[in-house]
Amino acid sequence: MGRFEGKTAFITGGARGQGRSHALALAAEGADVAVLDICRQIPSVQHSMATPEDLVETEKLVRDLGQEFIGIQGDVRNKDEVDAAVAAVEERFGRIDLVCANAGIMATTGPPAQEIAAWHDSVDTMLSGVFYTLKAVIPGMIQRGEGGSIVITGSTSSMRGVAYKVDMLSPGQVGYGAAKHGVLAIMRNFAMALGQHRIRVNTVMPMGVNTKMVVNDFFAGVIADAPPGWMANAMQQGLVEPEDITNAVAFLLSEDARFVTGTALAVDSGQLLL
Ligand SMILES: NC(=O)c1ccc[n+]([C@@H]2O[C@H](COP(=O)([O-])OP(=O)(O)OC[C@H]3O[C@@H](n4cnc5c(N)ncnc54)[C@H](O)[C@@H]3O)[C@@H](O)[C@H]2O)c1
């Protein structure tokens, strides 16, 4: 019997990448899955974002595992769209037990990163979007009285700066780091207030992960210009796979972590040690 039998998961940014990996792992252990993903391009982002076809593929893969799936195209920057998505999922599944607040963008490269829109898109997606997601799911969790588990996706950029030159002090780059630092404040406050309701809130902080967010020509240029050791870590590891992050997320979501809350778990091969 899987760890998530009878549970319902709500995952933002699950059309592809880490979010899809989380969806498949939770489904493989018995969860029904709902995904909210924008499935279109935000102009300040140079790397390609997910498409409607990506969301259809996630649906197919979840259904192949024998679980129910709801795919919703919507934008976590918009509180009304997040509220509507959560309402639709609760209407159809009757509950949300597990949450991955995972949607993200890397508006850190090229001329668009230097525009102020990149600051707003980054903070709106990865800070406000996380806040909207948590605010939307907790009333139902509290009302049902059966607890719940929420994992926010931070980054090693939740704990450190990465700008190695003045040009990197762009709205998109600094907005990324500000949002990823900021989610720790969201986590700590929600974890404190929700503990009495047996709702746990944690953060996973990945190092570089093998997804289209960083495996693209634009980010390759950032790496090529970087000083030696910019991505160094104690294990001398390059990118990790989405499944490496999923393993940590699934642990935090599961009863294996039933007394773990308010924790920021780095999956970073020791990057933050250096
Ligand atoms: N890939 C990395 O190296 C890395 C490292 C640390 C943290 N992260 C974080 O991991 C999370 C997942 O990223 P990934 O690596 O899977 O990249 P990805 O680009 O493959 O996936 C991100 C998903 O979020 C969706 N999304 C973006 N903005 C959205 C919005 N406003 N509303 C709804 N959906 C939106 C995208 O369409 C996409 O499907 C992000 O929060 C990212 O910041 C990634």
Query: Tokens for 205?
Result: 């902080």
- What pTM, to 2 d.p., does this model score? 0.99
213 lines ligand 1 (CB under 6 A): yes
Catalytic annotation on 176?
Answer: yes
Atom of ligand 1 nearest to the CA of 212: 20
Domain assignments of the chain as residue spans, ordered by start: 8-268
Strand order across the 98-101 sheet: 69-73, 32-37, 8-12, 98-101, 148-153, 199-206, 264-267
Q: 198-252, pLDDT tens digit by residue?
A: 999 999 999 999 999 999 999 999 999 999 999 999 999 999 999 999 999 999 9
Q: 93-115, pLDDT tens digit by residue?
A: 999 999 999 999 999 999 999 99
Given this model, what pLDDT does residue 1 score? 78
Q: 242-255, pLDDT tens digit by residue?
A: 999 999 999 999 99
CATH superfamily of the domain spanning 8-268: NAD(P)-binding Rossmann-like Domain (3.40.50.720)
Scanning the structure block, which residue is given the tokens 């934008």?
A: 75
Catalytic position from the list 10, 131, 176, 190:
176
